[in-house]
Amino acid sequence: MQKDAYTLILEAIDGGIYRPGDRLVEAELAERFGVSRTPVREALQRLETQSMLARDGRSLIVASLDHNQLAELYVVRAELEGLAARLAAKHATPEEVKVLSDMVEADRAHVGDPAALSRANRRFHKQIHLASHNRFLVQQLDLVHRSMALLATTSLAAEGRGQAALNEHAEIVRAIADGDGEAAQAALRSHISKAFETRLKLDAGAPRGAGDR
């Protein structure tokens, strides 16, 4: 199925092709994606309405998150992801648990490559969302993770964070495999809290405007 202009632009932002502060030009986007300008214009309007884009004079740029928005995002993410883990402990099939376990082991090969580990991390979290077997929760988490694309880099780039994150992933999977919803929820909320703490430490020592996921 051919992707529409909205999906193409959103994926370009999520993939880091366009980063916070980058200007999006209608004609350039139409040429890049091989579509007409009308659907691009409509997609840009939709993304602006969703706060993925912001106005800079007459131009549209990829939005960025200030400190308060960042804190709000992580609060919501911790609650929703924790709920997903708790439901996954109840509803995940043995096959889904096996996929999660295999992901953790395979992802250890990416330690030292923050970009690859970040992509693997998104796949892992998405798999937990799906294992919750709650379509409405998955939809809300998709919105949260869409906003995560507004963070310019990854907290997994911090020294030692990649290995620690994978150990935390393993703990989450063990709790899901045991059917222990409370432990799974607590482990995932703790995981998100540590990611947020790492981000704050990185931002404190980073140039103004830099960020991480």
CATH number at residue 182: 1.20.120.530
> What is the per-residue pLDDT for 105?
96
Q: Do 53 and 76 belong to one domain?
A: no
Q: What is the DSSP string of the chain?
A: -PPPHHHHHHHHHHTTSS-TT-EE-HHHHHHHHT--HHHHHHHHHHHHHTTSEEEETTEEEE----HHHHHHHHHHHHHHHHHHHHHHHHH--HHHHHHHHHHHHHHGGGTT-HHHHHHHHHHHHHHHHHHTT-HHHHHHHHHHHHHHTTS-S-GGGSTTHHHHHHHHHHHHHHHHHTT-HHHHHHHHHHHHHHHHHHHHHHHHTSPTT----
The predicted pLDDT at position 3 comes to: 80
Q: Are residues 48 and 127 in the same domain?
A: no
DSSP letter assigned to residue 54: E
> Which pLDDT score, from 0 to 100, does residue 58 have?
87
Q: Are 113 and 191 part of one and the same domain?
A: yes
Q: Do 47 and 72 fall into the same domain?
A: no
Task: Tell whether 113 and 192 lie within a shared domain.
Answer: yes
The confidence score (pLDDT) of residue 203 equals 77
- 51 shares its domain with 80: no
User: Which among 32, 62, 92 is the end of a domain?
Assistant: 62
Q: Is residue 209 part of a domain?
A: no
**Dihedral sign for Cα atoms in the order 176, 180, 181, 183:** negative
Contact 121, 168 (CB under 8 A): no
Q: 115 and 50, same structural domain?
A: no
Q: How many folded domains does the chain comprise?
A: 2
For residue 42, give its domain range: 5-62
The whole-model pTM stands at 0.82
- Please give the pLDDT value at position 2: 63
Taking only the tens of pLDDT, the chain with its 213 residues reads: 568 899 999 889 887 889 899 999 999 999 999 999 999 999 999 999 988 999 998 899 999 888 899 999 999 999 999 999 999 999 999 999 999 999 999 999 999 888 889 889 999 999 999 999 999 999 999 989 888 888 766 777 788 899 999 999 999 999 999 999 999 999 999 999 999 999 888 877 754 443 345
